[in-house]
Amino acid sequence: MLFRSSDKKGDVCLVLDIGNASLAASLVHFKVGESPEFLYTVRLPLRISEHAHSEKLQATLFTQLTSILEQVGKRGFAHEYFKKNDKKIAKVLCVFASPWYVSKTKKVPISNTKPFVITKAFLDDVILKETELFQKELQAGAHGEEFKKGVVVVEKTIVDARINGYFLNNPVGQKTNECVVTLYLGLSSEEIVSRIQEELFTFFHTKHLDCIFHSFPLVAHKTLSLLFPGEKDYLICDISGEVTDITKVSAGVVGDTKSFPSGKFFLIRKLAAVLDVPLDVALSFLHLWKSRGVTADMDEKINQVISDVEHEWSIYLEDALSSLGEISTLPKKIFITIDTDVADVFLEFLKIQKTDATGVWRKNIVPLHLSEEVLKHFYVSKDHLTFDECIAIDSIFLGSFQ
């Protein structure tokens, strides 16, 4: 089990959300039967220049991880809760967005001429063999140089099992001639996972800290299954960083994720280049533009940037969707994670009718931004902390294992 509160007072966990443009940390109090309560949350950028250089991203990650843990120590542990309770962390949940992980969903058909009983050992063997094949694929360089040096399995989960076409929550003990199990495998760089653990062990002065790692698509899927149990077919669209990640969920089973290099910070970067200003100033100009607080000349420039970004983003979107299946048959429900300051811009992108392969699909889609308004009933925040939707999703996931 991932997590269970140890006593009536509950436990405090550290939730780390590692994206491709920022890093967040949150001290979260969990108590059986109650929603997770945020004691402290902070998010720092990973991109510190106007020009994104992927080779520098890893170095920036560890610099910012050190900084964010220092803030947790100085400000997070200054919370009123720790005046009456030990500064103790029960568990650390670290959730990766791309490019920090690689995942794969695979259907594995199993058959035999003679009936056989499905045992836990049998399923464990299936998972082990498929995981080893995936590891070899990564070490051969199929998903980039960073995974050739060594990988760590962060997820190996059976997300669906069927006997004679019928779904079973638990196939163990069933006798059959054939079955199909669907696996979700998530792997990360061994170097990155080890460095994160070392940073945490150093900060908390112990090597006995319980650290668990997950990929955001699986965490988001599990959380959405809790919040919207009636939804079985949908897309998860994360636009909160440098890239857009789209994950397909069909019949309640999380599938593949496709990424393309255009997200929130792609827009901000383009805007900064055209206006010849730093990234933070470009974001401020965008806020002013949304409130109609810019000059006519500035308005024209920003409109042109947004039009150009929309055109490029839509081309990438069409390509990503087509790789997930026939676009017209893809799920119409879309759960979107994106910062509120640019959410309406990208939501408008989806509303634009096109004559490309996404045309029919766009006419029927139902996008839902997983905003503070949507998620506020599932967590507690008494200290007017800035809302962080990815941290909220991660924490609801962890809290479900109380």
Same domain for 272 and 359: yes
The pLDDT mean for the chain works out to 91
Give me the numbers of helices (H) and strands (E) for the chain, helices first please: 12, 14
Same domain for 171 and 65: no
pLDDT of amino acid 379: 94
Query: What are the pLDDT digits (tens) for 91-106?
Result: 999 999 999 999 999 9
In the predicted structure, residue 75 carries a pLDDT above the cut 60: yes
User: Can you tell me the distance from the alpha carbon of 301 to that of 45, in angstroms, rounded to the nearest whole number?
Assistant: 26
Same domain for 343 and 252: yes
389 is a domain residue = yes
Measured from the Cβ of residue 165, the count of other Cβ atoms closer than 10 Å reads 8
Tokens for 54? 């992927």
- In the sheet that 151-163 helps form, which strands lie side by side, from edge to edge? 101-117, 175-189, 151-163, 166-167
Long-range contacts of 145-148 (CB under 8 A, 24+ apart): 146/58, 146/99, 146/189, 146/191, 146/192, 147/102, 147/187, 147/189
- Residue 53's pLDDT band, with cuts at 50, 70 and 90, is low
Query: What are the pLDDT digits (tens) for 79-95?
Result: 999 999 999 999 999 99
Measured from the Cβ of residue 15, the count of other Cβ atoms closer than 10 Å reads 26
Query: What are the pLDDT digits (tens) for 102-146?
Result: 999 999 999 988 999 999 999 999 999 999 999 888 888 766 667
Q: Report yes or no: 214 and 223 within 8 Å, Cβ to Cβ.
A: no
pLDDT of amino acid 206: 83
pLDDT of amino acid 78: 95
The mean per-residue pLDDT over the stretch 188-211 comes to: 91
Query: What are the pLDDT digits (tens) for 214-273?
Result: 999 999 999 999 999 999 999 999 999 989 999 999 999 999 999 999 999 999 999 999
4 is a domain residue = no
DSSP three-state, residue 18: strand
pLDDT of amino acid 313: 97
Same domain for 142 and 262: no
317 is a domain residue = yes
Burial (CB count <10 Å: 0-12, 13-18, 19+), residue 113: exposed
pLDDT of amino acid 208: 81
Q: Name the DSSP letter for residue 380.
A: B
Query: What are the pLDDT digits (tens) for 270-313?
Result: 999 999 999 899 999 999 999 999 999 999 999 999 999 999 99
pLDDT of amino acid 50: 47
3 is a domain residue = no
CA–centroid distance for 349 within its chain: 21
Tokens for 72? 């947790």
Residue 141's domain comprises 102-186
Same domain for 178 and 327: no
- Residue 1's pLDDT band, with cuts at 50, 70 and 90, is very low
For the chain, the domain total comes to 3
User: Can you tell me the distance from the alpha carbon of 275 to that of 271, in angstroms, rounded to the nearest whole number?
Assistant: 6
Same domain for 265 and 252: yes
326 is a domain residue = yes
- The enclosing domain of 150 has a CATH number of 3.30.1490.110
Reported residue count of the chain is 402
Same domain for 362 and 380: no
1 is a domain residue = no
Same domain for 88 and 208: yes
- Residue 74's pLDDT band, with cuts at 50, 70 and 90, is very high
- Residue 73's pLDDT band, with cuts at 50, 70 and 90, is very high
Contacts of 328 (CB under 8 A, 6+ apart): 357, 360, 361
Quickly list H helices, 205-295.
216-227, 264-275, 279-290
In the predicted structure, residue 49 carries a pLDDT above the cut 70: no
In the predicted structure, residue 48 carries a pLDDT above the cut 50: no
Same domain for 355 and 338: yes
5 is a domain residue = no
User: Can you tell me the distance from the alpha carbon of 159 to that of 279, in angstroms, rounded to the nearest whole number?
Assistant: 41
Same domain for 275 and 262: yes
Phi and psi at 303, nearest 5°, equal: -60, -40
132 is a domain residue = yes
- The enclosing domain of 74 has a CATH number of 3.30.420.40
Q: Is the peptide bond before 36 cis (omega within 30 degrees of 0)?
A: no
pLDDT of amino acid 137: 87
Same domain for 212 and 65: yes
In the predicted structure, residue 51 carries a pLDDT above the cut 60: no
In the predicted structure, residue 10 carries a pLDDT above the cut 80: yes
Same domain for 336 and 218: no
